[in-house]
Each structure stands twice: as structure tokens, then as C-alpha cells.
Amino acid sequence: MTPRSARPVEIGSAHVVVTGGSSGIGLATARLLAGRGAKVSLIARGRARLEAAAKDVSAAARVADVADRAAVTRAIAELEEEREQPCDILITSAGLARPGHFLELPDEIFRQMIEVDYFGTLYALRAVVPGMVERGRGSVVAVSSAAALLGIFGYSAYGPAKFAVRGLMESVRAELVPHGVHVGVVFPPDVDTPQLAEENQWKPAQTRAIGGTIKPLTAEKVAAAVVAGIERRRFVICPDTGTRVLARFGSVLMPLLNREFDRRVRAIGKVTK
């Protein structure tokens, strides 16, 4: 197979589909892209919030659970028909985070994280990538997490799902780049979103101690990194210096980081109740 030359997607004429587009990183990215002239389509589970977001960014929208392959595939097809344009840029931002102690989390939480965070990404990619390969252009960007760069206390359910997203994007990058399709994966740390507020209700004290006093990023800062990553065809997209360092030197720094994290955990006291 002869590799196709990379043709960057022109954002101003692109049809962008954003899963998890009703709030947080997804909505902030949708706003930024709509402001650049893109045709934006949103997918999310909650109808009321999705309708408000669609009105905010003048977007087309469909209600769908990304963990339901038939539903998300149908939603994307309907949005492509409504916009009279195939998906040029896909951003998979839909996700769940449920921290907790490994010994206390029920199996259902582990299953849910994989179904939403991993399969929710996979199903959306499967719906748009064949067309992008056929056209020889496009961009697919998955929102993973800084928790996919290093195992962290309290994220035994969430972390592996985001590691899986990272592994998926690393693998498909190798296959899609020769077809002219850009592949990117985003590694945000804590971001000030409704999802983080929900997550914090379940976060163990040890997990909070590991995070220290680091202030969450704004969704707008992450969105700006995503758009820049699309324009520059970056694979690894890190919205701050800390995750950039971790993405590049994580394997070297891991022993030191684990030692420091263990110290903070011991300072909290007994791990289990």
C-alpha cells in the first residue's frame, strides 16, 4: 500500500461530531470549533442538557448512549445526513469516572467504565473511520486521561478504561496515518467540569492527597489544546506542562512518583476502612 499524503482538515469547512458534547471538554471544544466556522454535531445521553448545548453552539444533535453501538452508529449516520456532509472530524469526549477503593468497588463499576469510556470511543470510531479512509482524509481524536499515563490510587476502574483508549488510539494511528487520517489522543488532568464535581463525591482521601493542591484546568484550555492538536496533526495532545512531562518521561519518572505517592498515602493512614 502506498501511503497517502497528509491533507489537513480545514476546520472552517469541516463537519465535526463530538460525543459527550453537552458539557465539559466536549462542549468547550464544540464552541471553539463552531466559532471557527465548523458545522458541529453533538451526541450525548441527557436530552435537556444536549438541547441547551446544541442551541448554544448552533449544532445538530442526537440523543444516544455511546455504550450502545447501534444507537451511536445510527446517531452519527443521521447527523451526517442532516448536515449533508460526512464526519470530517470526530472527537470522542463522552466518558465516566468513578473512583473508589479497589476492594470496595462493585464489578458493575469496572464494567461500566469499560463500556462507556473504551467501547464508547471504539463504536464512534468504527462508524466514521471507513469513510475517512475511503476519502483519504479526516481526524479522529479521543479524550483519554492523565490517569492513562500512570496508575493512580483510587482509579482501578477508571484508569484501565482510559489506558485502553490510549492503546486503541496508538494502534489505529499506525494503521490510519498511511491513509491520510490524523489520529490524536488527549491526556487531560483534572478539569473543572460537571464530571469532576460528580467524581469528587467518590474520590478517596488518598486520591485527593496524591493530587495535592493542583488546580483543575478549565475545559476551555483543554479545548484549545485539542483544536491545536487537530490543526498540527499531533498524536499526543497534552493541555498542560505536567501531563506533557508525564507523557514523555513517565516510564523514567514512575519509580520516583510511586515513592512520593506511597508517602502521601501512608500519611493519610489506613488504606481501607
DSSP assignment letter at 115: I
Tell me the C-alpha to C-alpha distance, in Å, between residue 210 and each of 4, 12, 95, 259, 264: 45, 41, 22, 11, 6
Judge whether 121 and 142 are in contact, CB under 8 Å.
yes
Order of all β-strands in the sheet with 15-19: 60-63, 39-44, 15-19, 89-92, 138-143, 181-186, 236-237
Which position among 118, 123, 155, 158 bears the catalytic label? 158
Catalytic residue among 41, 139, 144, 156: 144
User: Which position among 118, 139, 145, 162 bears the catalytic label?
Assistant: 162
Nearest CA-CA partner of 140 in 176, 193, 178, 101: 176
Catalytic site residue 162? yes
Residue 202 burial (C-beta neighbours within 10 Å; 0-12, 13-18, 19+): middle
Phi first, then psi, for residue 134 (nearest 5°) are -65, -40
Cα–Cα distance between 128 and 82 in angstroms, integer? 15
Q: Which of 72, 67, 23 is nearest to 49 (CA)?
A: 23
Q: DSSP letter at 217?
A: B
User: Is residue 251 flagged as an active site residue?
Assistant: no
Catalytic residues: 144, 158, 162
